[in-house]
Structure 1
Amino acid sequence: MRRRVPRTDALLREPRLAAAVERLGAGLVKTAVREAQQRAREGSVPVELVPETALALLPGSAGGLRPVINATGVLLHTNLGRAPLSAAARQAVAEAAGPTDVELDLTTGVRARRGRSALAALREGVPAAGAAHVVNNGAAALVLAATALAAGREIIVSRGEMVEIGDGFRLPDLLVSTGARLREVGTTNRTAPADYAAAVGPDTGFVLKVHPSNFRITGFTRSAEVVDLAGLGVPVVVDIGSGLLAPHPALPAEPDADTQLRAGAALVTASGDKLLGGPQCGLLLGREDLVAALARHPLARALRVDKLTLAALEATLTGPPTPTALALTADPDLLAARAARLAADLSAAGVDAEPVDSAATVGGGGGPGVTLPSAALSLPEPYAPVLRNGRVPVVGRLEAGRCLLDLRAVPPEDDERLAQAVREARAAVEGRT
């Protein structure tokens, strides 16, 4: 049996595997070939099926990241990469992968401002912004602002806004790392405009307002609005976090960049991969002189984004509605109809599937406390790990002893892929029970 197993060099000459070497590289293909050969030696695969087995073991791409279907009901799931890019943004990334005019004026042949068309699109999306700059994530935007405007000086911030932004990163630690000093005012639940006014002095770099992210304080509370702070004689920097550029009817309490700037903010920082629905990046919008100072700061070079991010950002801003925007405004009745149709099809295939009402959330620190009516497929709990590890990974959530596949963040065109993943998982689930 062992002598009949095809040699590695012979298998790599097989036309389909040779084409895979061109697409994926020799290393990945050799790994798949050796695994297929080992299975043949063990007798679990017929010798004549070694090439087909190797082909089946090949990854979809040379990268280690696997695309998944987000059926968690969290639109911007940090562990799943937050906002999925639109088709327009993906196409823009593909076109920008080769040489581009990212810093070249093709008309004159001389160097031009990096990402100028993306910055113009960003300004058009936020009319109140005098200028815009982009860095590599939301935390970097705040770090650049603090370094350029307040290194060695004070940043005045409410105690109720000293948040942790995820994965153990805390706002106070982030700001202090820039060389700024924090001047905390007010209390956890109540901070008045007078508290800020009393703290402003010659050593003040700026006043900072921070989005509360994933929590809310209710009851006996008070917070100052930007309009209350704009006349203090120092810049007001607002970290809106979630990247909403303009008001959204589904999220009336969510701060947006344009409104904050019109209220008197000198600078707004935000993330690009949240409610904007674009790539990971940090947005800085505001007064032209401040943004120019930030863009010229030496740290800006270390935080700058690459051409792929700029391409995706511009296409997000100028292209059709993003998957995040579509999920946010999805019709609950249509979601229920999709769930019913999928449940009927899967039930006919012998799957214990039921359509159920569900509640989705925004995620990514946006819309804290906001729930979005949704619909889901309800499956037996053992489906959850099998679906996560399937050919097309599907990530749902566990609730009341069932595996729920919420459809709000699943595009309708992925319904058949979702159903096929469930059908493929059925055999493994039934084998376990």
Structure 2
Amino acid sequence: MSADPRRQVPRTDSLLADPRLVAAADRLGRDLVKVAVREVQQRVRQGEVVPGDAVAAVVAALPGTASSLRPVLNATGVLVHTNLGRAPLSAAAVEAVAAAAGTTDVELDLGTGRRGPRGVGALAALLEAVPAAGAALVVNNCAAALALVATALGGELVIARGELVEIGDGFRIPELLEATGARLREVGTTNRVALDDYLGALTGSTGAVLKVHPSNFVVRGFTRAVPVAELARALAGRGVPLVADVGSGLLRPHPVLPDEPDLQSTLADGADLVLASGDKLLGGPQAGLVLGRADLVQRLRRHPLYRALRVDKTTLAALEATLRGPLPPVGEMLAADAAGLHRRAEALAARLSAAGVDAVAVGSRARVGGGGAPEQPLPSAAVSLPAGFAEPLRRGTPPVVGHVAGDRTLLDLRSLPPTADDCLAAAVLAAAR
């Protein structure tokens, strides 16, 4: 008669006393390690793990950090992928976050020993990057910036019907604005709006004229819109602020994205305030950027809602390092040379083919993503694999996310740095096994 398998299962306290798991508990927390221990004990009962290998199995099952978030290789060809956390931070920003994670002088003047202004370094960096702005403010995302503007400026907001957009996951600009208590005065039609439509809607109750860049769609054909510069000239002297939500966070014009609005140009054209995201084309952390007239920015800063929307020290640190540091990953992706991408794809495909994997290099089209430049494809290159690779790659360590086109899985290289190529090859070979 065989022994009761339950007697062969290592005791929890014995496993937790192993030096390898003691070290893991110090790093990850005892509760997380205990969960992994129980899972391995169950695998021992089922005969999947030999009792003597239990500690090694627990160590192998433990995550890299105490967070459930896992690093992912983005081979989708979407540079700013919302489901993958949008912009990857630069090494400089990551170092700044680590430095700010402890106690910092975020609101302390070390010279006087008294309370100091919050985020002065990040705000100064923003103003240096966008010299047309008189002042700047940072909140937790662009939707928060829009909500703060709508609340603080009050009254009616005049907006073109064609700019009442949905920004993703069912969130709609008009519903967001109305949730603040603002009243919307819609002008024009879905496809056409004229300057007289805006001017005819102004009343003593108008809080602002709002322009929202329809970043995730394009209307073509019989259309008409009023540029910021034209609208600003017409509003001059009327006491009504012009607020422009440019969305993607491009600081200045970019040669690869000629039709994407940027903060500097929009302010130079006469907008009183511009709003944008920090974690898209800027390439920084999630944040809502507000830049423009100093009196209006101060009005937003002193509003009680600002306290609920302000960002923490790590966001301020990452934002400043993104602005002052080297070109962030999103900038490198935009600047990537198509010929260089093809050479990388060919080298990877040859390497995988030599190991018996059905891999070929193909041309592809990448996209900005995050609601930016929806009709601006970016020439790229990809490694093409059989479609069956998609799921095991997602489930691997690290997970690799590509996209399936027909009967092939494409791993686009524009959304991956060259330093990830070895890791990508290893993940494909592991999936093949």
- Give the TM-score category using the shorter length: over 0.9
> What is the aligned partner in structure 1 of residue 178 from structure 2?
176
Say which of 90, 102, 107 aligns to 2:106: 102
> What is the aligned partner in structure 2 of residue 204 from structure 1?
206
Q: Distance in 1 between matches of 2:49 and 2:12?
A: 16
Q: Does 1:4 align with 2:8?
A: yes
> What is the aligned partner in structure 1 of residue 229 from structure 2?
227
> What is the aligned partner in structure 1 of residue 141 from structure 2?
137
Q: Which amino acid aligns with 2:307?
A: R
- For residue 201 of structure 1, report the CA deviation from its aligned partner: 1.9
Deviations 1:18-56 (CA, angstroms, capped at 9, x unpaired): 100000001111111122222222221122111111110
- For residue 157 of structure 1, report the CA deviation from its aligned partner: 0.6
Q: Mapping of 1:26-41 within 5 angstroms?
A: 26-41=30-45
Q: Does 1:402 align with 2:408?
A: yes
Q: Distance in 2 between matches of 1:302 and 1:75?
A: 30
Q: Mapping of 1:175-194 within 5 angstroms?
A: 175-194=177-196
What is the Cα-based RMSD across aligned positions, in Å?
0.8
Say which of 159, 162, 182 aligns to 1:160: 162
What's the secondary structure of 1:129's corresponding residue? coil
Q: Mapping of 1:17-28 within 5 angstroms?
A: 17-28=21-32
Q: Mapping of 1:15-414 within 5 angstroms?
A: 15-150=19-154, 153-230=155-232, 231-232=234-235, 233=238, 234-414=240-420
Q: Distance in 1 between matches of 2:407 and 2:246?
A: 37
Structure 1 unaligned regions, length at least 5: 428-433
TM-score, normalized by length of structure 2?
Answer: 0.97
Q: Which amino acid aligns with 1:48?
A: G
TM-score, normalized by length of structure 1?
Answer: 0.97
- For residue 220 of structure 1, report the CA deviation from its aligned partner: 1.4
- For residue 122 of structure 1, report the CA deviation from its aligned partner: 0.7
Deviations 1:179-201 (CA, angstroms, capped at 9, x unpaired): 11111111111111121111112
Q: Distance in 2 between matches of 1:390 and 1:271?
A: 32
Q: Does 1:416 align with 2:418?
A: no
Deviations 1:299-347 (CA, angstroms, capped at 9, x unpaired): 0000010001001000000000000000011001110000000001111
Q: Distance in 2 between matches of 1:202 and 1:296?
A: 23
Q: Distance in 2 between matches of 1:370 and 1:27?
A: 48
> What is the aligned partner in structure 2 of residue 431 from structure 1?
none
Q: Which amino acid aligns with 1:396?
A: G
Q: Distance in 2 between matches of 1:43 and 1:401?
A: 38
Q: Distance in 2 between matches of 1:215 and 1:4?
A: 62
Deviations 1:69-102 (CA, angstroms, capped at 9, x unpaired): 0001100111111000000000100110000000
Report how many residues are paired. 425
Q: Distance in 1 between matches of 2:363 and 2:78?
A: 15
What's the secondary structure of 2:357's corresponding residue? coil
Q: Which amino acid aligns with 2:101?
A: A
Q: Distance in 1 between matches of 2:6 and 2:206?
A: 77
Q: Which amino acid aligns with 1:201?
A: T
Q: Distance in 2 between matches of 1:5 and 1:166?
A: 49
Deviations 1:157-182 (CA, angstroms, capped at 9, x unpaired): 11111100111011111111111111
What's the secondary structure of 1:76's corresponding residue? coil
What's the secondary structure of 1:22's corresponding residue? helix
- For residue 2 of structure 1, report the CA deviation from its aligned partner: 3.2
What's the secondary structure of 2:398's corresponding residue? coil
Q: Which amino acid aligns with 1:138?
A: C
Q: Which amino acid aligns with 1:8?
A: T
- For residue 4 of structure 1, report the CA deviation from its aligned partner: 3.2
- For residue 213 of structure 1, report the CA deviation from its aligned partner: 1.6
What's the secondary structure of 1:75's corresponding residue? coil
What's the secondary structure of 2:114's corresponding residue? coil
Q: Distance in 1 between matches of 2:178 and 2:36?
A: 49
